[in-house]
Structure 1
Amino acid sequence: MTHSLLRPLLAALLPLSLGACSSLQSSDNFLGVITPYRVEVVQGNVVTKEQAALIKPGMSRAQVRDVLGSPLLTDIFHADRWDYVFTIRRRGAEPQQRNVMVLFQEDKVSKFEAAELPSERDFVNSIDVAKTGRVPVLELTEEQIKALPVPPKPEATLADAAPQGPARSYPPLERTK
């Protein structure tokens, strides 16, 4: 192939290849074969109904931190406000975002604001993309145990084995008189 034919061919293929790259970003797979890896992004603190129920007016900052963890956002200009922000984007599940705000007055909780929070079980169910409903069996039945091969018995343990190698004599650690 000559250089005169190669340049127009490359010029025609370049826009087509770039167009293919842009279509990969908008779809979940390419020709039904290749599925690009998508990073699951989880940021912030998960705050559930059970945790929110434990927060009471008058609690100290340390008590709030024990229940909810360290806040994602603290601001030196609003030192009496802690923001707990949670976002998750997981393939096969709806993206979620929640904001929880704790206001303090004289280092005690004065206000707790949160939109509708899920229970722990609801949260786990919302991010479970497998939804198989099957729980794996983690124990063997008696029949399965009996079907296992019997391990070979060790012939001798290290404690029973005689020392091997030449006998060594070492000088005493202390001087004898």
Structure 2
Amino acid sequence: MRKLLSSALLIVAVSGCTAVTDFVKPYRIDVRQGNYITQDMVSQLKPGMSREQVRFVLGTPLVSDIFHADRWDYVYRFQPGKGASQERRLTVIFEDGRLARLDGDVRPADAAPQPAP
């Protein structure tokens, strides 16, 4: 009888712990990785800018591929302690050492899609 009672108490205690652990969770920090690129920064970029001017505006690219020297990739990832992660990408393409085009999630304000009237 005593073993049965202690087993029942143990089961109740363990099942109660899961409710407590669902309520009390450890603190998790926000993790930011890569180059944070804002809309204002991208809006400052103009076709024909040199590599140095682009680097001044956006900073040093996260990915600079030796096989594609005319392509810079700026990647940013934000993982909050709670919630879904966010990821942004911007690819800068150069032709003859000058800015030719941009590709990715972040667009200049003037290149944003306009709503149909």
For residues 52 and 38 of structure 2, what CA distance do their matches in structure 1 show? 19
For residues 38 and 23 of structure 2, what CA distance do their matches in structure 1 show? 38
Higher RCO structure, 1 or 2 (CA under 8 Å, sep 6+):
2
1:75 pairs with one of 40, 65, 72: 65
Question: How much does 1:47 deviate?
Answer: 1.1
Give TM-score scaled by structure 2 length: 0.68
- In structure 1, the partner of 2:9 is none
Residues 34 and 77, structure 2, Cα contact 8 Å, conserved in 1: yes
Aligned-residue Cα RMSD (Å) equals 2.5
Give TM-score scaled by structure 1 length: 0.46
Question: How much does 1:69 deviate?
Answer: 0.6
Aligned length: 92
1:101 pairs with one of 91, 95, 98: 91
- In structure 1, the partner of 2:77 is 87
Question: How much does 1:95 deviate?
Answer: 1.5
Q: Which has the larger radius of gyration?
A: 1
Cα deviation digits, residues 108-136 of structure 1 (max 9, x gap) = 1011113256x9xxxxxxxxxxxxxxxxx
Give the 3-state SS of the residue equivalent to 2:52 in structure 1: helix
Give 5+ residue unaligned stretches, structure 1. 1-22, 24-28, 120-177
- Pairing 1:32–2:23 present: yes
For residues 101 and 31 of structure 1, what CA distance do their matches in structure 2 show? 41
Give the 3-state SS of the residue equivalent to 2:69 in structure 1: strand
Amino acid at match of 1:75: D
